[in-house]
Structure 1
């Protein structure tokens, strides 16, 4: 690398990484920049034992952060190399290796980092154009990764399994306790899922959405009719280990950013993936492909942003490196403005 990455640019790109989605918005990551490369680490203190005992969702979250970091670096004109594991047991190492030009597509993805939201509101009945679904497939495509758009028969099966998983989880005291731990707290909390982004309870029996407000009474929640026939896509990986989970997380975030570019809303529907015996039923025959994420996509109204932890809370010190932790935005298009909050 002939030109050194500036500390200011490094801090701005790390803020883009922190804007990634994560399971229950736990933000289970830590980062270290040593002046030449970024190391990404899991934060086991933020693991979810009830719904993610093997850390699959945690690693998908880390992969999503890695995607944002690479997109932000590309928007600043840097080609990158990703390796795993990183030194000291890190989940991944991302190294800027050369300066190159930027493309409109890269800048569009980088700009979408600040707009990406998890949308828990009803979507309209408007069909998603085939060209947009094809764009999502292309965004996910990588070695050993694919995105499948469900037809009505498979959609019905997935919705049925999701409903069964949701009921299974609601009956589990460990699940309810874990959910409450990440949905309650003081107003200034910078993680978890606050009540402002719970979304309404669905009056549509055909679709089982995770209810982040289980601890609230019915009088405290709005209700709404959700689409009867939601558009569902499923992300698969060939293989099912931490490395593949990281790959799936990177692909997932590319899909979500691409959806944002096209004005498309998205919401994870992962209950059936969190109950082991039901997840096995979602795997295609042959034992080669494994479901890693189910997304509901469509067109919805804008939603509020949820919280993000400040960079100082997720950054590990590296000897001789002192990144600017105050306002630091991208120099191209400022896709992540200082102080702006994002949600899963």
Structure 2
């Protein structure tokens, strides 16, 4: 049975959910508050038709929001109940309140990391992330509370070089596509102009003589306005795979991914997604697990780097679909 749905509970859950990472910071979610819980909805107006036509990356983003919602409620002393619902074009998940329960220390640490998590597109320092920390990140993916079906693995030098080559190939293809360039420009803007998309201060520098291929969000700017920098010669890469490749698998992967990202934040590890190769179906197929059952969902570059600013977020009031009798309550909570 669900617990009470209070203004504080609503604010806690929604604030955490909208802080989740998303492809191009599109924030493709909406939330409906009803019957003592939250419905998590896909906002297809935020879809990326060029790089994400099947909405795989959108559902990963939605899974990350679901995980943040569940985590924040657990840290506040609620037992979050993820109620099974058919995953469709609109509603993707439902989270309700269960019995009260004292949160574990690990739960509180992860929840406290939600507002501190960043995507770091800067060059990383030479120090490697220790094997023990990498193992902790891999364990985090398997323990996301979304059921079995996600695994994170570190790439050895052969696998790393193969992924880097695929990423450069994908990046070159995308840069030559006028539709891709228009999509990038549509979702970027000078810092402070909008509440979604990638702001100019988050673009990061262009790689100079580097093995790393960083997505260039400054394609709409003259080349001389973009600084260059040297990135790592041998970057550390992780790959997240899921058992299956449907919407439910994507949602599970998004939850696993977010637990990994928050664990990395707690440990002071910088992370950058490298998804270009996963946006090309022919290249992505080459990264399927050897048995053909585990599908690649995310590639992560990890290391230690300088701090970076947070990405903008839409206000809570722009992300909810309350019933008429709830509009005053949600507006007040949104502040």
Is 2:249 the counterpart of 1:244?
Answer: yes
CA contact (8 A) 2:273 2:298 kept: yes
Out of 274-283 and 7-16, give the one that drifted further: 7-16
Is 2:308 the counterpart of 1:303?
Answer: yes
Q: In the alignment, what sits opposite 1:131?
A: 132
Mapped partners of 1:261, 1:268: distance in 2: 18
Q: In the alignment, what sits opposite 1:45?
A: 45
Q: In the alignment, what sits opposite 1:263?
A: 268
Aligned-residue offset at 1:222: 1.4
Q: Please list every run of 5 or more consecutive structure 1 residues that lacks an aligned counterpart in the other structure.
A: 329-337, 339-344
CA contact (8 A) 1:147 1:233 kept: yes
Mapped partners of 1:54, 1:87: distance in 2: 13
Q: In the alignment, what sits opposite 2:19?
A: 19
Q: Please list every run of 5 or more consecutive structure 2 residues that lacks an aligned counterpart in the other structure.
A: none
| TM-score, length basis structure 2 | 0.94
CA contact (8 A) 1:29 1:314 kept: yes
SS at match of 2:286: helix
Aligned-residue offset at 1:286: 2.3
Mapped partners of 1:11, 1:189: distance in 2: 22
Q: In the alignment, what sits opposite 1:225?
A: 230
Q: In the alignment, what sits opposite 2:240?
A: 235
Mapped partners of 1:41, 1:93: distance in 2: 9
CA contact (8 A) 1:39 1:86 kept: no
Cα deviation, 1:161-182, whole Å, max 9, x if unaligned, reads 0000000111111100001000
Q: In the alignment, what sits opposite 1:254?
A: 259
The alignment covers a number of residue pairs equal to 329
Q: What is the alpha-carbon root mean square deviation over aligned residues?
A: 1.7
Is 2:320 the counterpart of 1:315?
Answer: yes
Mapped partners of 2:10, 2:250: distance in 1: 25
CA contact (8 A) 1:197 1:304 kept: yes
CA contact (8 A) 1:28 1:58 kept: yes
Aligned-residue offset at 1:205: 3.1
Aligned-residue offset at 1:21: 0.3
| TM-score, length basis structure 1 | 0.92
Q: In the alignment, what sits opposite 1:206?
A: 211
Mapped partners of 1:121, 1:221: distance in 2: 13
CA contact (8 A) 1:136 1:258 kept: yes
Mapped partners of 2:161, 2:317: distance in 1: 45
Q: How does 1:100-111 map to 2 (within 5 A)?
A: 100-111=101-112
CA gap 1:214/1:88 in 2 versus in 1, 3 angstroms: closer
Moved >4 Å (runs of 4+): 86-89
Cα deviation, 1:61-92, whole Å, max 9, x if unaligned, reads 00000000000000101112212337994111
CA gap 1:67/1:317 in 2 versus in 1, 3 angstroms: same
Out of 196-205 and 254-263, give the one that drifted further: 196-205
CA contact (8 A) 1:25 1:193 kept: yes
SS at match of 1:266: strand
Cα deviation, 1:177-205, whole Å, max 9, x if unaligned, reads 00100013683300000101101111133
CA gap 1:320/1:326 in 2 versus in 1, 3 angstroms: closer
Q: In the alignment, what sits opposite 1:162?
A: 167
CA gap 1:198/1:185 in 2 versus in 1, 3 angstroms: closer
Mapped partners of 1:313, 1:196: distance in 2: 24
Aligned-residue offset at 1:216: 1.2
CA contact (8 A) 1:7 1:35 kept: no
